[in-house]
């Protein structure tokens, strides 16, 4: 009887040790992975075809296309002024997009050549929603 009790006690302690070891073997790595710093996962948002169509029409001063995209009158007037200010405008490059549900904000940049021969880099933000697109005005500088 005494021998049986010691064997049962030994088996119980072995099983308990294994259970605690398995629990710690699972919990410790899980807690470490939860608390460790993770690299940020950046979602890639595709370029809005409406925004691309708008910026191409804006640079080319295509008034009919701008009207069909629902652009306000001041944006269409700005496109006409833009076309006359520069000697050459390279095709715009898509810098990135931000999806706000049904609204997409796209950023574009283009290399331009001024009539005096100097070069510049221009950028635009295009807001598109529901088949309509418009330019967002640049932020105003902060006064000290």
pLDDT greater than 90 at residue 26: no
The lowest-confidence range among 30-34, 62-66, 103-107 is 30-34
pLDDT for residue 100: 82
Structure tokens at 128: 């598109």
Strand partners, 110: 122
pLDDT for residue 141: 62
Give residues with Cβ within 8 angstroms of 47, minimum separation 6. 94, 97, 106
pLDDT above 90 as % of the chain: 30
pLDDT for residue 31: 85
- pLDDT average, residue stretch 7-11: 88
Q: Mean pLDDT of all residues in the chain?
A: 86
Please state the φ and ψ torsions of residue 113, each to the nearest 5 degrees.
-115, 120
Q: Where are the alpha helices (H) located in the chain, listed in sequence order?
A: 2-35, 49-60, 63-68, 73-85
pLDDT greater than 80 at residue 91: yes
């Amino acid at each position: 009887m005494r021998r049986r009790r010691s064997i049962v006690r030994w088996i119980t302690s072995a099983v308990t040790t294994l259970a605690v070891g398995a629990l710690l073997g699972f919990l410790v790595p899980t807690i470490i992975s939860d608390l460790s710093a993770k690299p940020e996962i950046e979602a890639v948002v595709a370029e809005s075809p409406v925004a691309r169509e708008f910026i191409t029409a804006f640079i080319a001063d295509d008034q009919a296309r701008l009207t069909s995209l629902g652009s306000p009158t001041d944006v269409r007037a700005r496109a006409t002024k833009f076309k006359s200010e520069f000697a050459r405008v390279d095709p715009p490059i898509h810098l990135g997009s931000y999806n706000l549900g049904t609204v997409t904000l796209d950023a574009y940049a283009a290399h331009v050549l001024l009539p005096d021969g100097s070069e510049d880099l221009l950028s635009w933000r295009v807001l598109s929603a529901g088949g309509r697109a418009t330019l967002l005005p640049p932020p105003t500088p902060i006064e000290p």
